Amino acid sequence: MPIQRPRSRYAQVADDLREAIKRGTYGPGAALPSQPELARKYGLTQTSINRAIGLLETEGLIRTERGIGSFVLDIPTVKRVRRIPPRGRGSGSSFAEGLQKAGLKPTTKLVQAEAIVPPPDVARRLELGEGELALIRKREMFADGRPVQLAASYVPMSAAGDVGIAFPDTGPSGLYERLAERGHRVVRFMEEIESRRPTEEEADFLKIGKSQHVLEVVRFAFDRVGRPLDVVINVFPTQLWKLTYEWAAEE
Amino acid sequence: MPIQRPRSRYAQVADDLREAIKRGTYGPGAALPSQPELARKYGLTQTSINRAIGLLETEGLIRTERGIGSFVLDIPTVKRVRRIPPRGRGSGSSFAEGLQKAGLKPTTKLVQAEAIVPPPDVARRLELGEGELALIRKREMFADGRPVQLAASYVPMSAAGDVGIAFPDTGPSGLYERLAERGHRVVRFMEEIESRRPTEEEADFLKIGKSQHVLEVVRFAFDRVGRPLDVVINVFPTQLWKLTYEWAAEE
DNA sequence: TAGTGGTCTAGACCACTGC
DNA sequence: CAGTGGTCTAGACCACTAA
């Protein structure tokens, strides 16, 4: 590969590596050659190679870990559809459904379930006063072992009554039934969607670069008088998911 | 501003400039000090300053022009709600509504309206055969003169019958009425949402960097037998918009 | 310890803009 | 022309990981 002038050299190196990745020379998960090695190969200094690597990282093609190396990320081929609102049964676990249909094995890990003072943005959304408690349930979700989604749900303790309401852990529809038994019926849902850069922890868990984006979907459930009964915050990488909403035209 | 060790120096410079921009020290449109000047101020080399500037550019805070300088871009403050499907009238122009509520003056420019052979992805979505025509209507949208959205709608000519159906240009609800008069009633809507990197043209029109993301919302309108009557592709920068969907719980 | 990626300097040259 | 941002080197040191 001859290095030519008009285009910057590090950009040409990035081009070359990008091509190699697309050709499959470095498949998903494979490590790129080390920076000193690439420097020798292209006849540049490590500084320039480092910059090329940075470019690919920004583009979301690779992820580099300090002291280890740079690794090719999965190339987003087919996006998994997440259907919202769900057709038919309640607002059940569209997560598992979607993945199973795609031939992937969904697994979920409950990492937190307790009564806490929620972070201020959640408290505001739940219309909680200073220091009021909420039941948090935090989950990590995987498809064939690969981390694909983070979910945190918050229910005001005033509505939940007891931490035990979270168990057995049957997903939102089970929770809503138990809330209904306590006199809190959900009559309306709302979802807010935005795309943003991931936090450090999110990027770490989802194994994505800092420059890739995540979709944050916040679902609110309201009772008859418009009070929020729970807030669910879902976060997933934009490359993996596509959202779908569907509704009937008015007559 | 003391430069300290644990965090990289160029990142600290970026932090400092970011703060200054947020504080208003450098307002929208203002030029940052030149790189040599910043290098003197922070006691670093131009190379490091250049890197800090690159960071801010990636984040979409500034825009730099070679041989001229770096300039602060508009900072998006409040995100706008876009859509609440089931409430109020049809799927009318939520674009204008949302912006007016935000105190911004919306303007729209129709840049194309004719019968064409649509691009393959659109043809597939409209279930069109090879070479079948569709009516395209392409719009550019502005808020207080700033480009904020791109929209392209496609209607199969077999349903539209005539290019004239697009006029007067009264937005989707007007179009749907005229389609209904021709025997094509819309009974169902669907929207697909994804976040992706902008194409070159999109980045250019929306005045965003290549590393920022856009939301693509594709709305389908279906008739009674599930045939697509039109497809509308909306593209806008993720920083400017927040999407909202709302629906009633099932009984 | 050796190997990885990350940062930084000093100095240089280039391309571009606007006067 | 002087001033701007962009690239590159040679060499150095650091932080981190794994054996």
Strand C atom within 7 Å of A179 CB? no
Give the 3-state DSSP-derived string for B184-197, with helices as H, strands as E and coil as C: CCCCEEEEEEEEEC
**Which residue's CA shows the smallest distance to C1' of D7?**
A8
Report the distance separating Cα B142 and Cα B114, nearest Å: 22
Report the distance separating Cα A149 and Cα A215, nearest Å: 10
Q: pLDDT, tens digit, for every residue of B45-62?
A: 999 999 999 988 888 788
Q: Which residue of A has its CA nearest to B236?
A: A195
Q: What is the CA radius of gyration of chain A?
A: 23
**Which residue's CA shows the smallest distance to C1' of C16?**
B67
Q: Given this model, what pLDDT does residue B2 score?
A: 47
- How many CB atoms are located within 10 Å of the residue B67 CB? 4
Report the distance separating Cα A162 and Cα A182, nearest Å: 11
Q: Chain D positions under 7 Å from a protein CB? A: 3-12, 15-18
Report the distance separating Cα B130 and Cα A119, nearest Å: 54
Q: Chain C positions under 7 Å from a protein CB? A: 3-12, 15-18
CA of A208 to C1' of C17 (A): 39
Q: Please identify among residues 192-221 of chain B the ones whose CB lies closer than 8 Å to any CB of chain A.
A: 192-197, 211, 213, 215, 221
- C-alpha distances in angstroms, A109 versus A138, A142, A151, B117, B223? 9, 8, 10, 49, 42
CA of A202 to C1' of D10 (A): 38
What is the count of residue pairs from A and B with beta carbons less than 8 Å apart? 96
Nearest beta carbon to residue B250 from set A90, A192, A221: A90
Question: Could you tell me which residues come within 8 angstroms of residue B52 by beta carbon, excluding any fewer than 6 positions away?
Answer: B10, B11, B13, B14, B17, B38
- Count each helix (H run) and each strand (E run) in chain A, helices first: 8, 10
Strand D: which of residues 70-129 in chain B lie with Cβ below 7 A? 70
Q: pLDDT, tens digit, for every residue of A173-211?
A: 678 888 888 888 999 899 999 998 888 788 878 877 777
At B92, is the secondary structure helix, strand, or coil?
coil
Q: Amino acid letter at B57?
A: E
| Domain B95-237 classification at class level | alpha beta
- Domain locations in chain B? 9-72, 95-237
- For chain A, 251 residues long, give each residue's pLDDT as a single digit of tens: 444 556 789 999 999 999 999 898 998 888 999 999 999 999 999 999 999 999 898 887 888 888 899 999 876 655 677 777 655 444 445 666 666 666 677 888 888 899 999 999 999 999 998 889 999 999 998 887 778 899 999 999 988 777 777 766 666 667 888 888 888 899 989 999 999 888 878 887 887 777 778 999 999 999 999 999 999 999 998 888 889 888 888 75
Half-sphere exposure of B168 (CA within 13 A, CB side): 1
Q: Work out the burial of residue A133: count CB atoms within 10 Å of its CB; fewer than 13 is exposed, 13-18 middle, 19 or more buried.
A: middle
Question: Could you tell me which residues come within 8 angstroms of residue B32 by beta carbon, excluding any fewer than 6 positions away?
Answer: B17, B26, B38, B53, B62, B69, B70, B71, B72
Measure B239 CA to nearest chain A CA, in Å. 8
Report the distance separating Cα A41 and Cα A35, nearest Å: 10
CA of A4 to C1' of C14 (A): 14
Topology, domain B9-72: Arc Repressor Mutant, subunit A (1.10.10)
Half-sphere exposure of A53 (CA within 13 A, CB side): 23
Question: pLDDT class for B88, splitting at 50, 70, 90?
Answer: very low
Q: Which residue of A has its CA nearest to B191?
A: A245
For residue B237, list chain A residues with Cβ-Cβ distance below 8 A. none
At B14, is the secondary structure helix, strand, or coil?
helix
How do strand B80-81 and strand B241-248 relate by DSSP bridges? parallel
Nearest beta carbon to residue B247 from set A85, A90, A238: A85
Helix H segments across chain A?
9-23, 35-42, 46-58, 94-101, 120-125, 157-160, 171-181, 200-206
